[in-house]
Amino acid sequence: MRIGVVGTGYVGLVTGACFADSGNAVTCLDINADKIARLNRGEVPIYEPGLEELVERNMAAGRLAFTTDTAAAIQAAEVVFLAVGTPPAADGSADLSALWKVVETIAPHLRERAVVVTKSTVPVGTCAGIERRLQERTGRSCRVASNPEFLKEGAAIEDFQKPDRVVVGVRSPDVGETLRSLYRPFLRTENPFLVMSPESSEMTKYVANALLATKISFINEVANLCERMEADIDDVRRGIGHDSRIGFAFLFPGVGYGGSCFPKDVQALAAMARDKGVSPRILTAVHDTNLAQKKVLGEKIAAHFGGNLKGRKVAVWGLAFKPRTDDVRDAPAIDLIERLLAGGAVVRVFDPEAMANVKAIYGDRLEYAAGVMDTLDGADCLAIVTEWGDFRRPDFDDVARRLAAKVIFDGRNLYAPEEMRARGFVYHAIGKVPVT
């Protein structure tokens, strides 16, 4: 099948590469000429395990191309996927300005029977709006569908190629069958292909992310309570997670969620609710709880030093919002760095993939370590923000030698308090009695 993908960000690039890898002819379109030039040189602008190899293989096979030429990408396409950003506006609602501009740009180039599919996360009713705008600009009824993505950064290729379900929102059975044919190579293990209205499909994406975010905020709030009650959140988590109605997924306490999806989708769903006269009390609480949780590690560090951070040297392990990505959008590490810098601390950071993105934000306001252990030299404490595998089993004797004081603030509960006590560390985790 001939496919056009508009947007070469995270979703668009993964979508285009995976569809090309299943034998389709895919052309990815972007207005950013520098990004397209880099992609045509084989340079993938984001870090996602396996993506660079996938892009290289399919470009070499002639199945994947990148262009800034709208006509070249759209005119021959049987299916056009829209994968442009929908960032939050000031009121939390989704900003669709980029999407509407794309719709106007592609309209003159669409084939008569082409299917336009929204991959972007968009408010309920957006597909209907696209249909209206395309009809106004083409003079004919156009086929529009919703196909939300459920990709986890760091595991996106696996998620796309082996989905637990595919959701499509369509107006007519023939559009549903077109998309079913396109996804058939990825559903050979009989995982469901769910067909519904575009409105239900659009809502499904928001509700899925909001519910997962709710689990994270809930366990974080319980973790904070556990500390004050001298209970251990890991014991509590195990005690509830074995209940088949609850499970363990997204029940790991930490320093809050970040990234490009959960923060904006919770706010956007709440904004949709308010627009329809529904009070989004749970969604508001989820968002507010997460904002507060991002401050917890900084507050623990400040309290340890008696409220005076001036001149203190803090080592920070982990900058990306999660492992296996370089994405620092809404990352808890950013909140921590802001708190430390505001207090006058000297901050030295390390992350296996996200250093360049953080340096683009902070420049020379931070110190950037060459390696994991180099971060620690002379630091008054270590703060762990992202659970990269590099941090899980360090040489604790070397950690103790390099730190000026044996103090660890673990925002991801990587270590056992008993081991930290035996090694003579002061150890603060999330939802656990501190080791002092």
Question: Per-10-residue mean pLDDT for the chain, 436 residues long?
Answer: 97 98 98 97 95 97 98 97 95 95 97 96 97 96 97 96 97 97 94 97 98 98 97 97 96 96 96 97 98 98 98 98 97 98 98 98 98 98 97 98 98 98 98 96
Distance CA 239, CA 255 (A): 21
Q: Which of 329, 332, 330 is nearest to 318 (CA)?
A: 332
Indicate whether 177 belongs to any domain: yes
Contact 180, 239 (CB under 8 A): no
CATH of the domain at 44: 3.40.50.720
Q: What is the pTM of this model?
A: 0.94
Total count of domains within the chain:
3
**Are 159 and 86 members of one domain?**
yes
Indicate whether 113 belongs to any domain: yes
Indicate whether 422 belongs to any domain: yes
Pick the last residue of a domain from 173, 196, 219. 196
**Are 216 and 188 members of one domain?**
no
**Are 108 and 179 members of one domain?**
yes
127, 142, 261, 381: the catalytic one is: 261
**Are 189 and 223 members of one domain?**
no
**Are 276 and 371 members of one domain?**
no
Distance CA 76, CA 27 (A): 10
Q: Is 127 a catalytic residue?
A: no
**Are 100 and 158 members of one domain?**
yes
Indicate whether 433 belongs to any domain: no
Q: What is the pLDDT of residue 325?
A: 96
Indicate whether 201 belongs to any domain: no
Structural domain harbouring 244: 206-292
- Provide the residue type at 241 as one letter: G
Indicate whether 317 belongs to any domain: yes
CATH of the domain at 218: 1.10.1040.10
Contact 222, 229 (CB under 8 A): no
Q: What is the pLDDT of residue 190?
A: 87
Q: What is the pLDDT of residue 32?
A: 97
Indicate whether 436 belongs to any domain: no
DSSP state of 423: T
**Are 127 and 168 members of one domain?**
yes
Alpha carbon of residue 111 to chain centroid: 33
Q: What is the pLDDT of residue 54?
A: 97
**Are 118 and 105 members of one domain?**
yes
- Provide the residue type at 261 as one letter: C
The residues, any chain, with a CB within 8 Å of residue 142's CB and separated by 6 or more, are: 110, 114, 116, 131, 134, 135
**Are 77 and 138 members of one domain?**
yes
The SS3 assignment for 313 reads: strand
Strands 166-169 and 193-196: parallel
**Are 23 and 163 members of one domain?**
yes
Q: Which residues sit opposite 118 in a β-bridge?
A: 82, 146
DSSP state of 419: H
Indicate whether 267 belongs to any domain: yes
Q: Which residues sit opposite 2 in a β-bridge?
A: 25
**Are 323 and 361 members of one domain?**
yes
DSSP state of 6: E
The SS3 assignment for 330 reads: coil
Pick the last residue of a domain from 147, 178, 196. 196
Pick the last residue of a domain from 160, 175, 196. 196
**Are 38 and 66 members of one domain?**
yes
Distance CA 200, CA 214 (A): 20
Token look-up 């070499």 returns 60
